[in-house]
Amino acid sequence: MTRYKRQDPEITRRKFINAAMGGTVAVGGISLLSTLGTANPVFRLTRDKMPPLKGDILVHAEESKEGQPIKVSDLSDQLVRAWPMGKGEDGSNVIRKGDPNNILALYRFPKGQLIAPTVLEATVDGEVVAYSDVCTHAGCSVSDSDQGDGMKCPCHSGQYDPKRGCIVTGGPPPRALAQLPIKVEGEGLVVADFFLAMPYPFIAEAEWETFKKEVEEQLA
């Protein structure tokens, strides 16, 4: 008759080794996760990735004419795509296409056709208007509708009305295309300020405001 309960040392040893091995594998495995840190490269906000800025000249985005400044006479009620072109750090011209979301849509409508909620002060004489050309739904480039009723996104058929501030007239986009204030300088068109509303791919006003500040700080 033993008074104490005998413990089987085999079990404790096995338990200990299992726990030790498990712990080693876990720590080793987790430490390997650090290599995933290489996956996300550092983002550098270079001039070609900045959004359209005050003073940027609008240039043609179409391949054959790329880089040529846009004149008011080039525009019509058919969409013309443009890039903003600003100055690089060395003073040379930089087309801001490092961020494809900078692509712009330009229209010229007869006077009186552009109506609210288009911000008329941000257009040229209430005739020439500029919007972000990037669909607020999934970021595709928006085109003229083949039905002749405004703009249409080829991806999921979101529709916008460029005469009414590019509000959504059909399909899944969550908000209107952002309007870009422009003015005429000489023969060309020049950006007057940041987008009036947040463009794609921003999802919150706060984020867009922070980004604008970041850009301004870097330029200062």
Between 57 and 153, name the residue whose CB sits nearer to other proteins. Answer: 153
Residue 13 and residue 18: Cα distance in Å, rounded? 8
Between 31 and 147, name the residue whose CB sits nearer to other proteins. Answer: 147
Residue in 154, 185, 187, 219 binding other proteins, rule: CB under 8 A: 154
Residue in 88, 100, 218, 219 binding other proteins, rule: CB under 8 A: 100
Q: Is 156 in the site for other proteins (CB under 8 A)?
A: yes
Shortest distance, position 138 Cβ to other proteins, whole Å: 5
Query: Of the ranges 9-17, 19-27, 173-181, 212-220, which one interacts with other proteins (CB under 8 A)?
Result: 173-181
Which DSSP string corresponds to 25-69?
A: HHHHHHHHHGGGGGGSPPP---GGGSPP-TTPEEEE-SGGGTTPB
- In whole angstroms, how far apart are CA 201 and each of 44, 70, 93? 17, 26, 25
Residue in 164, 172, 188, 215 binding other proteins, rule: CB under 8 A: 172
Q: Is 171 in the site for other proteins (CB under 8 A)?
A: yes
Q: What are residue 145's DSSP bridge partners? A: none
Between 87 and 97, name the residue whose CB sits nearer to other proteins. Answer: 97
Residue in 24, 62, 115, 187 binding other proteins, rule: CB under 8 A: 62
Between 134 and 190, name the residue whose CB sits nearer to other proteins. Answer: 134
Q: Is 139 in the site for other proteins (CB under 8 A)?
A: yes
Question: What is the b/e burial string over 111-145, where b = at least 16 CB atoms within 10 angstroms of the residue's CB?
Answer: eeebeeebeeebbbebbbbbbbbbbbbeeebbebb
Closest-CA residue to 117 (of 160, 59, 70): 160
- In whole angstroms, how far apart are CA 132 and each of 25, 59, 200? 51, 14, 8
Half-sphere exposure of 208 (CA within 13 A, CB side): 14
Q: Is 159 in the site for other proteins (CB under 8 A)?
A: yes
133: left (phi over 0), alpha (psi -120 to 50) or beta: alpha
Contact code string over 11-40 relative to other proteins, x by CB under 8 A: -------------------------x--xx
Interacting residue ranges for other proteins, rule: CB under 8 A: 36, 39-41, 43, 49, 61-63, 81, 97, 99-100, 103, 133, 137-143, 146-147, 152-157, 159, 168-175, 201, 203-204
